[in-house]
Amino acid sequence: MTTQEKHSDGIFGKHGGRYVPKGLEASLDELNAAYNQYKNDPAFQQEFAYYLKTYAGRETPLFFCKNLTEQCGGAKIYLKREDLNHLGAHKINNTLGQILLAKRMGKKRIIAETGAGQHGVASAAVSALMGMKCVVYMGEEDTKRQRANVARMHMMGAEVVPVMEGQRTLKEAVDAAINDYIKNPDTFYLLGSAVGPHPYPLMVRDFQSVIGCETKEQTMEAEGRLPDACIACVGGGSNAIGMFYPFIEDKTVALIGVEPGGIGHKMGEHAATITYGTQGIIHGYSSYVLQDDKGEPASVYSISAGLDYPGVGPEHAMLKDQGRADYVIINDEEAINAFFTLSRSEGILPALESSHALAHALKIAPKMSKDKFIVVCLSGRGDKDLDQMLQYMK
Ligand SMILES: *Cc1c(COP(=O)(O)O)cnc(C)c1O
């Protein structure tokens, strides 16, 4: 049995599944049936590959950081350049896959949630591409913090709905999108990470697996073998699972997920869900969750908006339990330092999210021998973080 068949019911060990109101079951069943039909349909896969190539700009390069490697004095450091995708991050892989599925299902209205706005922009873009109406739910606090992305969504013809509940951030935006989905079964909910009720974690992982598949071929070409470690940042976990999944059976490859350690270990000072969380239910699935005494999702913090989420994809929770992947934390300061280190050594501005993954590579590379090599998933470009980073310029 392959790994994929083993989890085709959306159960990942103790995690995953579907914990939703009755009204949502039928929509998710319909989605699951369509997904199962098309994932093995050559015409669908061909169309997906076509848009990944001509619209997103794949394949993305695998880049050897010669300067950074010399500076660290240990294992070679490579970057998988997801920042070079259209819109500057890996999000486009998943939104293209889901919009093509929506089209085949005959859906005409797309809804999405967004935190920093990156998934909202990617959803707006693919909706424009396919001529569909797009409504993006975004916490009101986030609409103020991320005005440029709100403008981008508007320019691409999407409607942005500010969510006024609770902390007015990502968690409330997901709640609002789920409520819309319950009320409008004809709508397609384009979910932005490898989280949510079955079949989203499976589906998003499959659409993002192009990252790991390309990396495998590219490392074979560059080094004649598979890497010693793959490192990726974990928010909901989509870029990480996309990188990890094709390597799961390759036991010589260490898989390391990096969570945002923020400014401290206390609840509210970080968003390191696997590191500090406990088993719970959030947004329709079971996984590790950062929750308060009442079982409500805790408030979370990270310098990078894209990692600021109190849940985590159930497949990561399983990989952690199995010991197949390791999850570590990198704090704000280490991420900021990694941002400047890569900018100055290689002329690449990494997203603050990706800077977390990079920071861990900078930590372990010097302790590894020179014949080893590491691949870091550079999930996005740092241009979106410039205003924030200006204050740290010396
Ligand atoms: C959204 C985002 C992330 C976090 O999302 P995952 O689902 O954990 O991948 C990481 N990096 C960038 C650049 C992002 O935009």
pLDDT tens for 311-334 read 999 999 999 999 999 999 999 999
In a domain, 7, yes or no: no
- Residue 230 sits in a domain whose CATH number is 3.40.50.1100
Tokens at 1, concatenated: 């049995």
Let me know if residue 160 belongs to a domain: yes
Residues 146 and 284 in one domain: no
Domain limit, last residue, from 181, 205, 229 = 205
Instruction: Say if residue 194 is in the same domain as residue 282.
Output: no
Question: What average pLDDT does this structure show over 63-90?
Answer: 98
pLDDT class of 4 with cuts at 50, 70, 90: very low
Four-residue CA torsion sign, 4, 284, 279, 212: positive
Q: Is the same domain home to 139 and 121?
A: yes
CA of 51 relative to ligand 1 center, distance in Å:
21
Confidence category of residue 293, pLDDT binned at 50, 70, 90: confident
| One domain, residues 246 and 380 | yes
Q: Examine the domain organization and report whether 23 and 96 are in the same domain.
A: yes
Per-residue pLDDT band at 359 (split at 50, 70, 90): very high
Residue recorded with tokens 């039909």: 37
- pLDDT mean over 37-56: 97
Q: Per-residue pLDDT for 2 more than 60?
A: no
Assess whether 332 and 194 both reside in one domain. Answer: no
Query: Which residue among the candidates 7, 15, 86, 90 is catalytic per the annotation?
Result: 90
Residue 195 has pLDDT above 90, yes or no: yes
Lowest mean pLDDT: which of 139-148, 188-197, 313-322, 331-340?
139-148
Does residue 269 sit in the same domain as residue 312? yes
Mean of pLDDT values over 34-62: 98
| 92-116 tens-digit pLDDT | 999 999 999 999 999 999 999 999 8
188: in domain:
yes
From CA 293, how far away is CA 283, in angstroms rounded?
18
Q: Confirm whether 90 is a catalytic residue.
A: yes
- Do 213 and 148 belong to one domain? no
| Pairing of β 285-289 and β 278-282 | antiparallel
Which residue has the CA at smallest separation from atom 7 of ligand 1? 238
pLDDT band at 5 (very low <50, low <70, confident <90, very high): low
**Nearest atom in ligand 1 to 237's CA:** 8
285 Cβ contact partners less than 8 Å away, ≥ 6 residues apart = 15, 16, 17, 18, 19, 195, 196, 197, 198, 200, 201, 311, 314
Distance 272 CA to ligand 1 centre (A): 14
Task: Please report the pLDDT score of residue 75 as a whole number.
Answer: 98
Average pLDDT, integer, range 263-271: 96
Same domain? For 101 and 84 the reply is: no
In total, how many domains does the chain have? 2
Around ligand 1, the residues with Cβ closer than 6 Å are 89, 91, 118, 193, 233-240, 306-307, 351, 353-354, 379-380
- Ligand 1 centre from 260 Cα, in Å? 12
Q: Is residue 329 part of a domain?
A: yes
Where a domain ends, among 205, 234, 269?
Answer: 205
Overall residue count recorded for the chain in this entry: 394
- What predicted TM-score, i.e. pTM, was given to this entire model? 0.97
Residue 4 lies inside a defined structural domain of this protein: no
Q: What's the mean pLDDT in 240-248?
A: 98
What does pLDDT average to over the chain? 96
Name residues whose C-beta falls within 8 Å of residue 1's C-beta, 6 or more positions apart in sequence. none
Please give the pLDDT value at position 274. 98
The residue segments making up the domain with residue 358 are: 57-88+208-393
What's the pLDDT at 145? 84
**Alpha helical stretches, state H, the chain:** 3-6, 22-39, 42-51, 66-72, 91-104, 118-130, 140-145, 147-155, 170-183, 200-208, 210-223, 238-244, 273-276, 314-322, 332-346, 352-364, 386-390
pLDDT tens-digit profile of 53-67?
A: 999 999 999 999 999
Q: Is residue 105 in a domain? A: yes
